[in-house]
A = this chain, B = another copy of it.
Amino acid sequence: MAQTPVLIILAGGASSRMWPLREKSLLRFGTEPLLVSQLQRYRALGFTEAIIIANPDNQADITTLAQQVSAMTVQIAVQPEPLGMGDAILRAEPLLARRTQTPIYINQVHDVVDDSLHLSLLNAYNTNPNASYLAGYAISNYFPGGYLIVTGDGRITGMVEKPAPENRPSNLVNIVAHIHSDAGVLFDAIRAEYARDIPTDDHYERAMDALMKTRMFHVVPYSGHWSALKYPWHVLDVMNYYLAQIKGQMVAETAFIAKTATLVGDVFIGDRVKIFPGAAVVGPAYIGADTVVGNNSLVRNSMVLNHCEVGFTTEVARSYVADNCAMHACRVLDSVFAQGVNFSAGCTTANLRIDKGTVSSMVKGQKINTGRDKLGAIIGRDAFLAVDVMTMPGVKIGERAQVGPGTHVVNDVADGIRVFVKQELGMIGGEA
């Protein structure tokens, strides 16, 4: 059996496109932060060594997270500046010390895939440890990614970045799950690309493209789940993946489920959760520890993490709600709430355009089509929405923002801003 590759986990990408959410590695989709969850899965698949590439902002968090994983050697490298994936990979080199000929398996922390992808790559590699292997994600609709040029016997001879739909060389898109048989060879090739004077930052892809001319690269096709956390609404896709892992009804012994409450389908009910009379949790759903699901409320196809209040007649549907959120007599639909959001009585995250088109959202000044028919709001931590606030589909609300009663939130609200309606009142009559 061949040597088990060393994992190179890229976790240093900026999370700025995730605003108003923060660091992706820390997002929790269950009891563990994403990075911990990913490491535990790698360990279960037989990996014993990982190098995580962090950035200066998340280095401390990632170091803390890595310590939560046992039976695995985890080292942290820091990429000081966002100079591209090639530069990030090179940061692993010193930590490999003299073992630069070792095989490496490059992954991104924010790519969530099935175990089967990792297993397929490992199997292929074990069959022939002299070749390198790239996952090829089989897609039916066009997607602006990197397409693999593949020969009939599965050899990859090149890659094309974002070709026009009619010029796609295959239906296989590059997904960052790459086993390189010899790390040193890859490092050298990347370095060579940085030495060239080419303005684009696809050094890693160019390095692979160059290596493919002389070395054997094979595609490992994949068609299972793949979700990548690029924009904040992708949290819902990753959530769905984790929700799909819940099988049956896992109800903590310390949980209270009222007699007239209803649990349907696959649900996880954490410690000390209270599900009050008339409430329903419809799976797949995850209710974290110490969360209260109040009378006659409904949680479905959602994650509500720990210490939340899902108050009377609240509906949480197809949404992700982080710790310590308070909701009351409101509708949380197709939305993502960071920790500590207060969503008052009568609030609604409108999730459907009046013209029923796909929902767009602004990211760094650009209007991005989210591709979603339904999307509510993304709300940053500790934001306070007063009674009867309506958020329009796809809006984002910053951390600690305060939104006054009755506001229709049509545009994004920046961090720390207070927004309120200037309501003009009329008055008639009265007794002196």
Hey, which bits of chain A sit against chain B, CB under 8 A?
258, 260, 262, 276-278, 280, 295-296, 298, 312-313, 315, 328-329, 331, 333, 342, 344-346, 348, 350, 352, 354, 384, 386-388, 390, 392, 402, 404-408, 414-431
Q: With contacts A298-B312, A354-B386 known, is A407 near B421, CB below 8 A?
A: no
A423 to B420 alpha-carbon distance, docked (Å): 10
Contact partner of A296 among B278, B386, B404, B406, CB < 8 A? B278
A390 in contact with B346 (CB, 8 Å): yes
A386 to B344 alpha-carbon distance, docked (Å): 19
Contacts of A420 in B (CB 8 A): 425-428
Contacts of A388 in B (CB 8 A): 346, 348, 388, 390
A9 to B342 alpha-carbon distance, docked (Å): 47
Contacts of A392 in B (CB 8 A): 405
A431 to B399 alpha-carbon distance, docked (Å): 10
Chain A contact surface mostly:
loop
Copy count, this protein chain? 3
Contact partner of A329 among B331, B408, B422, B427, CB < 8 A? B331
Contacts of A313 in B (CB 8 A): 296, 313, 315
The 19 listed contacts between A and B (C-beta, < 8 Å) are A260-B278, A262-B278, A277-B280, A295-B298, A312-B331, A342-B352, A346-B388, A348-B388, A350-B386, A387-B390, A390-B405, A405-B408, A407-B423, A416-B429, A417-B429, A418-B428, A421-B426, A422-B424, A422-B426
Q: In this complex, what residue of B is CB-closest to A411?
A: B425
Contacts of A346 in B (CB 8 A): 331, 346, 348, 388, 390
Contacts of A262 in B (CB 8 A): 258, 260, 277-278, 295
Q: With contacts A278-B278, A348-B345, A406-B390 known, is A421 near B422, CB below 8 A?
A: no
Contacts of A296 in B (CB 8 A): 278, 280, 296, 298, 313
A348 in contact with B387 (CB, 8 Å): yes
A352 to B427 alpha-carbon distance, docked (Å): 20
Q: With contacts A278-B280, A280-B277, A414-B430 known, is A315 near B315, CB below 8 A?
A: no
A197 to B416 alpha-carbon distance, docked (Å): 58
**Besides A342-B352, A344-B348, 11 new A-B residue pairs in contact (Cβ under 8 A), listed by A number:** A262-B277, A280-B296, A296-B296, A328-B331, A331-B345, A350-B386, A390-B405, A390-B406, A405-B408, A417-B427, A417-B430
A408 in contact with B426 (CB, 8 Å): no
Q: Give 5 closest A-B pairs by Cβ, nearest first.
A: A417-B430, A418-B428, A262-B277, A422-B424, A416-B431
A345 to B406 alpha-carbon distance, docked (Å): 14
A350 in contact with B345 (CB, 8 Å): yes
A389 to B426 alpha-carbon distance, docked (Å): 14
Most buried by B among A258, A342, A425: A425
Contacts of A350 in B (CB 8 A): 344-345, 386-387, 405
Q: In this complex, what residue of B is CB-closest to A409?
A: B425
A408 to B422 alpha-carbon distance, docked (Å): 10
Contacts of A407 in B (CB 8 A): 423, 425
The distance from the CB of A109 to the nearest CB of chain B, in whole angstroms, is 28
